[in-house]
């Protein structure tokens, strides 16, 4: 299992590098007003996020001195990512059942599951549609009809919103990793700290959109242009 952890660490590192590359490319596209490239880069970023989330999940459940081989096997044998996460949470909290009252445990589970559904599971399901070539019109699970609701979500993908998902995942992943690695110490000390930071992040970024990012970048470019222009005028006047 250590090999899987080490491979996952390597993959996470590579995905983080590619994330930086895609962000630089997207910023360049904004500066050049190349709106025709927005859609394809956004779809690729959505794929990258879900790949990142799945690889981080593998890294997390294989963390040394965390889950036993038996627990890991129970998780990976689940049918899909949602069920794997559910089993992961269930097994992780099994270590703290006797350390905390049932009400507190259920509250923590509900908090995690709500964030998981919003920021990991649902984006993963949309990514699956994109990965199967459904870039404009999503089909139902049986491929017998068009899924209009999912089609709208795909058309509404926003590069900035996807970027926020990366940051949100870090907070969720750290909270669960603490629970796996140190259920009797780090988890009890830091769980609500992680959740508080997560809520602050969600609240701070809820109004961030592609439009706001374009404005920020264009304003920055304009400031730099004016600074260069003023410096040029100063040199000319000397």
Number of helices followed by number of strands (H, E) in the chain: 10, 0
**What was the pLDDT predicted at 159?**
93
**What was the pLDDT predicted at 178?**
87
Indicate if 138 and 235 belong to the same structural domain.
no
In the structure encoding, which two tokens stand for residue 32, read together?
């050049």
Indicate if 187 and 96 belong to the same structural domain.
yes
In angstroms, rounded to a whole number, what is the distance separating the alpha carbons of residues 132 and 130? 5
Cα separation values, 200 from 108, 141, 149, 162, 167, Å:
17, 35, 29, 17, 12
**What was the pLDDT predicted at 147?**
93
Question: Running DSSP on this structure, what letter comes out for residue 50?
Answer: H
Indicate if 92 and 191 belong to the same structural domain.
yes
Indicate if 230 and 123 belong to the same structural domain.
no
Q: What is the pTM of this model?
A: 0.86
Indicate if 85 and 39 belong to the same structural domain.
yes
Indicate if 199 and 212 belong to the same structural domain.
no
Please give the tally of structural domains in the chain.
2
Q: What is the pLDDT along the chain (238 residues), one digit of tens a residue?
A: 789 999 999 999 999 999 999 999 999 999 988 888 998 999 999 999 989 999 999 999 999 989 999 999 999 999 988 899 999 999 988 877 555 567 778 888 888 889 998 888 888 888 889 988 999 899 998 989 999 999 999 998 999 999 999 999 999 998 899 888 877 667 777 888 888 999 999 999 989 988 888 898 888 888 888 887 888 777 776 6
Q: Classify burial at 19, counting beta carbons within 10 Å of its beta carbon; exposed 0-12, middle 13-18, buried 19 or more.
A: middle
Indicate if 196 and 212 belong to the same structural domain.
no
**What was the pLDDT predicted at 98?**
58
Indicate if 214 and 129 belong to the same structural domain.
no
Give ∠ CA 49-53-57 in degrees, rounded to 5.
170
Collapsing DSSP to helix, strand or coil, 139 comes out as: strand
Indicate if 183 and 234 belong to the same structural domain.
no
Indicate if 92 and 31 belong to the same structural domain.
yes
Domain encompassing residue 135: 2-205
Indicate if 192 and 211 belong to the same structural domain.
no
Indicate if 147 and 179 belong to the same structural domain.
yes
């Amino acid at each position: 299992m250590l090999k899987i952890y080490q491979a996952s660490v390597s993959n996470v590192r590579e995905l983080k590098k590619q994330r930086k590359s895609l962000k630089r490319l997207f910023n360049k596209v904004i500066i050049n007003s190349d709106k025709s490239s927005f859609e394809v880069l956004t779809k690729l970023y959505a794929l990258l996020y879900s790949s990142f989330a799945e690889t981080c999940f593998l890294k997390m459940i294989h963390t040394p001195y965390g889950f036993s081989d038996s627990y890991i096997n129970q998780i990976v044998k689940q049918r899909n990512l949602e069920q794997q996460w559910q089993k992961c949470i269930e097994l992780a909290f099994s270590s703290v059942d006797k350390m905390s009252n049932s009400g507190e445990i259920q509250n923590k589970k509900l908090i995690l599951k709500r964030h998981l559904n919003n920021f990991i599971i649902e984006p993963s399901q949309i990514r699956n549609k994109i990965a199967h070539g459904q870039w404009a019109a999503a089909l139902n699970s049986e491929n017998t009809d068009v899924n209009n609701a999912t089609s709208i979500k795909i058309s509404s993908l926003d590069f900035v919103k996807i970027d926020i998902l990366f940051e949100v995942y870090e907070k969720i992943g750290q909270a669960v990793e603490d629970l796996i690695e140190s259920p009797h110490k780090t988890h009890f000390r830091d769980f609500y700290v992680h959740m508080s930071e997560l809520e602050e992040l969600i609240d701070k970024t809820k109004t961030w959109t592609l439009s706001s990012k374009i404005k920020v970048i264009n304003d920055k470019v304009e400031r730099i242009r004016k600074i260069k222009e003023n410096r040029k005028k100063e040199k000319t006047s000397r």
